[in-house]
Amino acid sequence: MTIRNPVEWGVSQVKLAADVVGHASHAVYHPKEDLNTLAPEVRHIGASDLWDAIRQGFADFRNYRTDVVFLSIIYPLIGLVLARAALGHDLVPLLFPLATGFALIGPFAGIGLYELSRRREQGFETNWADALGVFRSPSWGAIAVLGFLLMAIYIAWLVAAETIYLVTLGPEPPVSIEGFARDAVTTGMGWVMIAVGMGVGFLFAVLVLAMGAIAFPLLLDRPVGVDTAIWTSMRAVLTNPGPMALWGLMVAAGLFLGSIPAFVGLIVVMPVLGHATWHLYRKLVPH
Residue 61 lies in a domain: no
Residue 42 lies in a domain: no
Helix axes 102-109, 241-259, angle to 10 degrees: 100
The count of C-alpha atoms lying within 13 angstroms of the C-alpha of 19, restricted to the half-sphere facing its C-beta, is 6
Give the per-residue pLDDT at 283. 95
pLDDT tens digits, 103-156: 788 788 788 888 888 888 877 776 656 666 677 777 788 898 999 999 899 889
Residue ranges of the chain with pLDDT lower than 50?
A: 1-4, 9, 13, 16-18, 20-27, 29, 31-37
DSSP string, 56-74: HHHHHHHHTHHHHHHHHTH
Residue 25 DSSP symbol: G
Q: Where in the sequence is the domain holding 225, given as residue range(s)?
A: 6-24+66-284
Tell me the C-alpha distance between 206 and 151, whole Å: 15
Residue 287 DSSP symbol: -
Give the per-residue pLDDT at 36. 47
Which residues are within 8 A (CB) of 277 and not within 5 positions of it... i.e. 6 or more apart? 53, 57, 107, 110, 113, 114, 213, 214, 217
Give the per-residue pLDDT at 123. 74
Tell me the C-alpha distance between 217 and 133, whole Å: 13
Residue 91 lies in a domain: yes
Which residues are within 8 A (CB) of 127 and not within 5 positions of it... i.e. 6 or more apart? 64, 67
Residue 140 lies in a domain: yes
Residue 50 lies in a domain: no
Which residues are within 8 A (CB) of 263 and not within 5 positions of it... i.e. 6 or more apart? 75, 76, 79, 80, 83, 99
Give the per-residue pLDDT at 101. 76
Helix axes 140-168, 188-212, angle to 10 degrees: 170
Residue 277 lies in a domain: yes
Q: Is 138 exposed, middle or buried (0-12, 13-18, 19+ CB in 10 A)?
A: exposed
Give the per-residue pLDDT at 258. 73
Give the per-residue pLDDT at 34. 45
Residue 164 lies in a domain: yes
Total of domains in the chain: 1
Residue 33 lies in a domain: no
Which residues are within 8 A (CB) of 176 and not within 5 positions of it... i.e. 6 or more apart? 92
